[in-house]
Structure 1
Amino acid sequence: MSSKDADRITAAQQTLDTLFDISQLLNTQLDKETLATCVGMIEGGVNPEALAAVIQELRREAAGLGGPDTR
């Protein structure tokens, strides 16, 4: 791996860490892996508002089923 690649990986990790900190402050209840998946989907063109709506709906359904994810 080149130093340029290592720098990109480090920058991406720092960005994800910062986004996770913001996510925690906003009480999104997203773990780092889920947040990274969401960021990747948004970078791939998914509408962020639509993604947020889907996450909220999944949480409502999980809560309604009495499942373990009652956020």
Structure 2
Amino acid sequence: MSARETARHGSAEETLDILHEISQLLNTQLDKATLATCVNMIENGVNPEALAAVIQELRRESASITSPANGR
């Protein structure tokens, strides 16, 4: 890996660390790997608001499946 690629990788890692810290402050409950996937999706053209809506819907569905009130 060239020095330029190493610097770029380090910068990307630092940016992800900062985004993760912000994510923790905002209590998004996204781990670093999930956050990195979301950032990558947004960089590739996914609408951020639509992505947030999908994450919220998946959390609601997960909560309803694992809820003790659903008869399981």
TM-score range normalised by the length of the shorter chain: over 0.9
* Aligned-partner Cα distance in 1 for 2:54–2:25: 21
TM-score with structure 1 length normalisation?
A: 0.92
TM-score with structure 2 length normalisation?
A: 0.91
- Larger of the two Rg values belongs to structure: 2
Partner of 1:55: 55
Question: Greater helix share, 1 or 2?
Answer: 2
**Structure 2 letter corresponding to 1:7:** A
Moved over 3 A (4+): none
Partner of 1:24: 24
Instruction: Map 1:1-71 onto structure 2 (within 5 A).
Output: 1-66=1-66
Q: What are structure 1's unaligned runs of at least 5 residues?
A: none
1:7-41 deviation per Cα after TM superposition (whole angstroms, max 9, x unaligned) = 00000000000000000000000000000000000
**Structure 2 letter corresponding to 1:4:** R
Q: What are structure 2's unaligned runs of at least 5 residues?
A: 68-72
- Between the two proteins, the alignment pairs up a number of residues equal to 67
RMSD: 0.8
Percent of pairs identical after alignment? Answer: 69
